[in-house]
Amino acid sequence: MKKVAILQSNYIPWKGYFDMINMVDEFVLYDCVQYTKNDWRNRNQIKTPNGVQWLTIPCRFESMNQKINETKVSDKLWASKHFKTIVQNYSKAKHFKEYKELFENLYKEVADEELLSVINYKFLIAINEILGIKTKISKCEDFSLIEGQTSRLVQICKDAGATHYISGPAAKDYLDESLFEDAGIKVEWMNYGGYGEYEQLFSPFVHGVSIIDLIFNEGSNAPKYMNSFKENR
């Protein structure tokens, strides 16, 4: 049995994104599709005393046909600004000091990076390591990219040797499950319910913020608040 998920890269995603990664044997970054403005590709939310706040990587929008892996950063000062904002809002978190240097170095590393996809990839790999996620990470460029919204996903799964395809619930609106069935691949849907609350700064509690919130507040205990780790035990 081999489980595969295929999803666009996001900037410092929430815990549900990493649960999906941890639930599969291979996770394919699907950045060879259209870039969408005001989406999770280049931004995410953190907690502050005044509620949630967006951290947004400024990107150039040059064409309606622009792909995620073609999207370029438009202001190189974004990284230092983001890290400064993170320090301001998480310096009092219980485990912030443990991870401050790691994230500071990571932001310095990506500060001069031009491509959004590369930035997202570097954060994803670093956070996987923090959480102990060992899933193979691939990129859509490594696979046969045929035409057809669902057909392309099926072909990637076939190339990867998948027996199961894990998808987010939003895809129910367009995914043709019969094409997966014809290929002998079972579709399974992610369930993002049932998360427990942890010791989060600034009430009220919010589940949908970036994973860094969980890491800074719970440290090495972070996986205990993620559904996939419970299921894998």
In the chain, what is the straight-line distance between the N-terminal and C-terminal CA atoms, in Å?
18
Distance, in Å, from the CA atom of 185 to the CA atom of 157, rounded to the nearest integer, reads 8
Instruction: Write the pLDDT tens digit of every residue in 59-113.
Output: 999 998 999 999 999 999 999 999 999 999 999 999 999 999 999 999 999 999 9
Specify whether the CB–CB gap between 57 and 119 falls below 8 A: yes
Task: State phi, psi for 27 to the nearest 5 degrees.
Answer: -115, 120
pTM, two decimal places: 0.95
Q: How confident is the model at residue 233 (pLDDT cuts 50, 70, 90)?
A: very low
* pLDDT tens, position by position, 147-187: 999 999 999 999 999 999 999 999 998 999 999 999 999 99
Of the candidates 2, 4, 1, the one whose C-alpha atom is nearest the C-alpha of residue 166 is: 4
Amino acid found at 229: F
